[in-house]
Chain A
Amino acid sequence: MKALRAFLDKQRPLFEKGGKFEKYYYGFEAAETFLFTPNHTTAAKGVQIRDAVDLKRLMMTVVIAMIPPLLFGIWNMGYQHYIAIGQEPEFWQSVALGAELVIPIIIVAYAAGGLVEGLFAIVRKHPINEGFLVTGMLIPLILPVTIPLWQVALATIFAVVIAKEVFGGTGMNVLNVAMTARAFLYFAYPADMAGDVWVYYGENAPIVEGYTGATPLALAQEATIAETPIPVEQAFEASWFGQFEMMSAWDMFWGDIPGSIGETSTLMCLIGALILIITGVGSWKIMLSVFAGAYAMGLLNNAIGLNPFMEMPAYYHLIIGSLAFGAVYMATDPVSASHTETGKWIYGFLIGVITVIIRVFNPAYPEGVMLAVLLMNVFAPLIDHYVVEANKKRRLSRATV
């Protein structure tokens, strides 16, 4: 380590003011602080000691919490392929294929986003922010495995520039960056983001007779708009997956069904949630209230019960689609969520409610989480405003006593 330190110390003057590569100081700084935490000490006035936490560690904790859905997604993407071509794969076969499909997407997302981050850091002369460690991992997890790589790069660049950097960079963004990337692709390239995109078929492999890789959300939607509507549960059972008993509530919870790379397994998201809650990095209030909101809206739909989708048991809403993923990883983004503790309850609850509303009443958008999160991102400052006003009012009312 000493040799490495000595090497860095020797390079340092090149990047400092007056050095040859002065412009790229923040690039050097990012690399240096990645290897070694800096030797900065506290100022003469103010706190003399600092907490061991820093933003890098905080962000890495989120990345670690994303590992369960990521690993599961890698396996599941391979597994889904073999099911579609009618083979019973070995576990490692699925993992190997999944890795081959998923890892390039992750690399592209990190590379494209990292490039933009680095560019902005150099131009704006600020340190490279660690927030992208999380965004770069989130984006691949919410995309279909068949997504063209150039679209991954384009969406990531779009999201980082438009959703984050134009607002002033990390900490200033209004919208969740990863969700913006997904929304961009969804509206710009709908053919690659919806329909029969969730499973990788390969080029020559024959697809099994009668196979459809429809997601539960699509099935529920179809059952509702069919000429003779049938209950959603029946539709699940009648689907190709259902015929082989692969579309039960357990499957949806466990996640061995088609869908975006990281979102199919509710269980893995809950493990991630556990990590975030134990480490105190993610807000349990938001997670809990998203689930509560979705469940409450599901129950209300049940009570009204105008069509099969509305009659679908409310708990299905919690395990189909990417509600769990959105609740755990997207809604809890501290920058775009509500900043006040009271606000977090309202913010989360409304995400749950709106998700179900969009799912059930808007056939054009089978997955409501994305739009619900983005919508509530926009409303979070308003929620905060009222919470803060209440605080001010308490203070004012005190004065007259």
Chain B
Amino acid sequence: MSKVIKLKKGFNINLAGKAEKRLGGEVLPEIFALKPTDFHGIKRPKLLVNEGDTVKAGTPILFDKMLESVMFTAPVSGEVVEIKRGAKRKLLEIKILADKQIAYESFPKHSAGDISNLSRELILDQLLKSGLWPNIIQRPYGIIADPTETPKSIFISTFDTAPLAPDYNFLLKGQEAHFQTGLDVLKKLTTGNVHLGLKGEGEVAPVFAQAKNVQLHKFSGKHPAGNVGVQIHHIDPINKGDIVWTVKPQAVAQIGKLFTEGIYDASKIIALVGSEVKEPQYYRTYVGAGVSRLTEGKVKAGKNRFISGNVLTGEKVAEDGFLGFYDNMLTVIPEGDNYEFLGWIMPQANVPSFHRAFGLLSFLNPKKEFVVDTNTKGEERAFVQTGVFEKVVPMDILPTHLLKAIMAEDYDEMEALGIYEVVEEDFALCEFIDVSKHDVQAILREGLTLMQNS
């Protein structure tokens, strides 16, 4: 534990608009939504509600016919007002008009000390029914865990190194007891250990540093040192046939609360960040919150992009869209749909770059906070430069070769080069720094889907 795993590779993108450690109060938007598209690998979603039905927080809304035991439940109580479908009737959003006072489905309560005596079956059953199960992610593939499997270990990263990411110490304030209960619950699900990845430098809140019944590991370094995949690679790497589960800290606290208080409390603290936010800070809201209410009056004028999640792995959402199931931050940055005269050779001191090619001056000013828009700053080209992806992936993995194996759909090669160990977020920096502007994360997901279905 005293040993800090130092990661030398990586890159921090220093953006303007970091959140002040201050809670701006609770925001309860009128509309919440559950988006089946947030979950990888839902193949045949089956709806359990109709428009006009009333639901409580924790009432099942849909399930996947391929994984029938896993319920997706309503985050808040209210009325199902719209079921939005896209092309080919693809299920996009189930919108719920929230009650002013949230009513909860009730689940069995247990005292915190009792958790260790509960049977695995009982724990599974409660997690699956409550709607918290989808928070448990399985590696390989980064999909919702299969409850019939037993993972060799469970990993929780207690810090996020992504640009503008919220401080988990702050997110978990007041949730200490629930977090510990959640850890005890998770411990029952694995034959191995529950591992907690801690920040190697700076403040670590006692909720993490003094967690019991788990193994603690410290990591220091630039992004992606906080990625759970990187931490797994250095502690208990995933080999062929291995299964590891990962959970985010706020979900662990929600799990704790489910068992001690018997409710699915989908409330969480999120960070509203980005250069276009007037006062970047934290707010308390619920899973699937409507963006328009969250950002009302808090965003500067102009053409902005709203991103559920961080700027590397997040997803663009409409101004009247909804926060993603897993996301604990909403980023607002300017859109970049403008031309720049001779932009490919003009010196660029105001755009961050991992590179130092002619005219890229951001490396001279590492402390500067940059305002970055969404322009691609160039077009897609063939792979030319070599040896740079390797500098931002702190694992013994050859990203370029793995990506090429995916493009060639070479299954053996993908497996041998370590595709089981990574998901999109681990290669997100590669996509950012890529000179040839490939959609690295999309390529990786393609590979993961191929492997999963093979």
Chain A residues close to B by CB (< 8 Å): 1, 4-5, 33-58, 60-61, 64, 127, 129-131, 169-172, 278-281, 283, 334-335, 337, 339-341, 344, 388, 391-392, 394-396, 398-399
Contacts and interface: CB of A to CB of B under 8 A. Distances in A.
Closest 3 CB pairs of A and B: A54-B378, A171-B382, A37-B343
B341 A36 contact: yes
Nearest to A9: B339
A171 B383 CA distance: 6
Contacts of B316: 43-45, 48
A278 B382 CA distance: 24
Between A38, A46, A51, A169, the greatest number of chain B beta carbons within 10 A of the residue's beta carbon is seen for A51
A57 B384 contact: no
Given A50-B437, A399-B240, 7 more contacts: A1-B341, A36-B342, A61-B357, A279-B356, A281-B357, A334-B387, A339-B386
A46 B431 contact: yes
B398 interface: yes
Interface string B334-356: 01111111111100100111111
B372 interface: yes
A41 B375 contact: yes
B377 interface: yes
A51 B352 contact: yes
A311 to B, nearest CB: 38
Between B305, B378, B379, B384, the greatest number of chain A beta carbons within 10 A of the residue's beta carbon is seen for B378
A42 B417 contact: no
A276 B206 CA distance: 48
Contacts of B418: 395
Contacts of A52: 348, 351-353, 355, 360, 362, 377
Between A34, A53, A54, A339, the greatest number of chain B beta carbons within 10 A of the residue's beta carbon is seen for A53
Given A51-B432, A279-B357, A344-B387, A57 B311 contact: no
B398 A37 contact: no
Contact of B360 (A35, A53, A170, A399): A53
A38 B376 contact: yes
Interface of B: 13, 237, 239-240, 305, 307, 311-316, 331, 333, 335-345, 348, 351-360, 362, 372-379, 381-387, 390, 396-398, 400-401, 416-418, 424, 428, 431-437, 439-442
A389 to B, nearest CB: 9
12 contacts: A33-B379, A46-B442, A47-B432, A52-B353, A53-B354, A54-B378, A61-B357, A130-B381, A170-B384, A340-B398, A395-B237, A395-B416
A165 to B, nearest CB: 12
Between B333, B382, B383, B400, the greatest number of chain A beta carbons within 10 A of the residue's beta carbon is seen for B382
Q: How would you classify the secondary structure of chain B's contact residues: helix, strand, loop or mixed?
A: loop
B365 to A, nearest CB: 13
B375 A40 contact: yes
A58 to B, nearest CB: 5
B356 A335 contact: no
B381 A129 contact: yes
A288 B417 CA distance: 29
Given A35-B342, A48-B307, A334 B352 contact: no
A35 B340 CA distance: 8
Nearest to A64: B358
Nearest to A276: B357
A50 B417 contact: no
A39 B424 CA distance: 26
Contacts of B387: 283, 334, 339-341, 344
Contacts of A5: 339, 341
B343 A171 contact: no
A45 B313 CA distance: 7
A49 B385 contact: no
A394 B233 CA distance: 13
Contacts of B237: 395, 398
B431 A47 contact: yes
A70 to B, nearest CB: 16
B381 A39 contact: no
Contacts of A171: 381-384, 436
Given A37-B339, A40-B379, A58-B385, A53 B315 contact: no
B382 A339 contact: no
Between B314, B344, B397, the greatest number of chain A beta carbons within 10 A of the residue's beta carbon is seen for B344
Contacts of B390: 341
Given A171-B384, A279-B358, A45 B315 contact: yes
A55 B357 CA distance: 10
A53 B352 CA distance: 9
Contacts of B431: 46-47
B312 A48 contact: yes
B416 A392 contact: yes
A44 B314 CA distance: 8
Contacts of A395: 237, 239, 396, 416-418
A38 to B, nearest CB: 6
A337 B355 contact: no
A190 B12 CA distance: 54
A394 B398 CA distance: 12
Contacts of B339: 5, 36-39
Nearest to B428: A47
Contacts of B439: 43, 46
Contacts of B379: 33, 38, 40, 54, 127
A54 B384 contact: no
A1 B340 CA distance: 10
Contacts of B352: 51-52
A55 B353 CA distance: 13
Nearest to B397: A391
B376 A42 contact: yes
A393 B32 CA distance: 49
A392 B417 contact: yes
A353 B390 CA distance: 28
B397 to A, nearest CB: 8
Contacts of A334: 384-387
B376 A58 contact: no
Contacts of B401: 339-340, 388
A36 B433 contact: no
Given A60-B345, A391-B398, A49 B432 contact: yes
Contacts of B385: 58, 281, 334
A48 B343 contact: no
A58 B442 contact: no
A392 B340 CA distance: 44
A172 B376 CA distance: 24
Contacts of A60: 344-345, 358
Contacts of A4: 341
Between A33, A46, A283, the greatest number of chain B beta carbons within 10 A of the residue's beta carbon is seen for A46
A311 B305 CA distance: 68
A392 B396 CA distance: 10
A131 to B, nearest CB: 7
B408 to A, nearest CB: 13
Contacts of B314: 48
B353 to A, nearest CB: 4
Nearest to B354: A51
Given A47-B432, A50-B378, A337 B356 contact: no
Given A38-B379, A41-B336, A49 B357 contact: no
B417 A54 contact: no
Contacts of A340: 386-387, 398, 401
A48 B311 CA distance: 5
Contact of A41 (B355, B374, B400, B435): B374
A340 B391 CA distance: 12
A17 to B, nearest CB: 18
